[in-house]
Amino acid sequence: MKKLKFFQTFIESEIEKIFSESSEPKNLYEPVNYTMSLPGKRIRPVLCMAGCDIFNESEVKNTIYPAIGLEVFHNFTLLHDDLMDKSEIRRNNSTVHKKWNDNIAILSGDAMMVMAYQFISQSPSKILNDVLTIFSRTALEVCEGQQYDMDFETRMDVTESEYIKMIRLKTSVLLGASLKIGAIIGSAEQKEAQELYNFGCNAGIAFQLKDDWLDVFGNSSEFGKNTGGDIVSNKKTFLLITALNYLPEKGKKELMKWLQIEEFNKDEKINAVKNLYEEAKVSKKAQEKMNFYYENSLNHLSEINRKKEILSELAEFAQNFINRSR
């Protein structure tokens, strides 16, 4: 994956330059710089640059600031998400609300949202309106996905289709938008730009399903945060929904007991629920669902009539989503 690796190295260097300078007030900008300095895959800016490269390599230079804007927005959502979920670890480091406090996390996150728009607005003027329209719609969809996720906290009847809709909004539309914004900067035809968007959305669903799987079955030292967090917080994931659907009555009652109990030992709850997940074979079912969306993503990618090596790299990139360990 030579081209994608090049984009990743380049964008990492640009982010390091931009977010290494100290600004005042310190307690507003230090958390921003800290968040942007945490080790990450830089998936969204890489996809933005790749989306442009597929159609017009000479225009890739014009994706740099929009790509950074997409990464800033993504990290803003993680900062606020960690606060809402009361997560203490992100990428093997303390979360902002833990390192500073809740109010600083809220305000620094707000600043990152504004900064994201500042970077996105540096798109070429001839397509700026289209880019802003896509980004604004996507940003709102991410908020909708987060709200669905929070609404699910008080529901015990969340369906698989509702869950897939939620993760599509919360996670995958930003991947699709990153590719589509790059494609628009590269002057792609509308149909091909949309196929690239659909590729990103399907790959993104597979990505989030794997994220849910890793939270239960992954290695915490590789995953970058403590495993079992979704179990402890009763998060309605594909794994939990599947277990409720496939467990026999006895197992379902035991799972419901763990979902309803208010005082418990974390490790005991995690181990008990994992055993129930294994009984319901949710790991296998989750992997099958990941593969379904991975195959869908490839179908959309095959509709793009460009003989470019980078298309093969994107296919491999999507495959890595379901093979990753963190």
pTM: 0.93
Residue 232: Cβ-neighbour burial (10 angstroms; 0-12, 13-18, 19+): middle
Give the tens place of pLDDT for each residue, 228-249.
989 998 999 999 999 999 999 9
Query: Looking at the predicted structure, is the pLDDT value of residue 71 above 60?
Result: yes
The DSSP code for 81 is: H
Domain that holds residue 51: 2-323
The CATH number given to whatever domain includes residue 89 is 1.10.600.10
Give the tens place of pLDDT for each residue, 189-229.
999 999 999 999 999 999 999 999 999 998 766 655 678 98
Rounded CA separation 190/196 (Å) = 10
Tokens of 263: 């005082």
The kind and range of the H/E element at 325 are none
Rounded CA separation 282/246 (Å) = 9
Q: Which residues have CB under 8 Å from 158's CB, separation 6+?
A: 152, 236, 241
- Tell me which residue of 3, 12, 10, 15 sits closest to 53, measured CA to CA: 3
Rounded CA separation 24/42 (Å) = 26
Rounded CA separation 169/250 (Å) = 34
Residue 212: Cβ-neighbour burial (10 angstroms; 0-12, 13-18, 19+): buried
Give the tens place of pLDDT for each residue, 274-289.
999 999 999 999 999 9
- Please report where in the chains the tokens 């869950």 appear, as a residue: 163
**One-letter amino acid identity for 322?**
I
Q: How many domains does the chain have?
A: 1
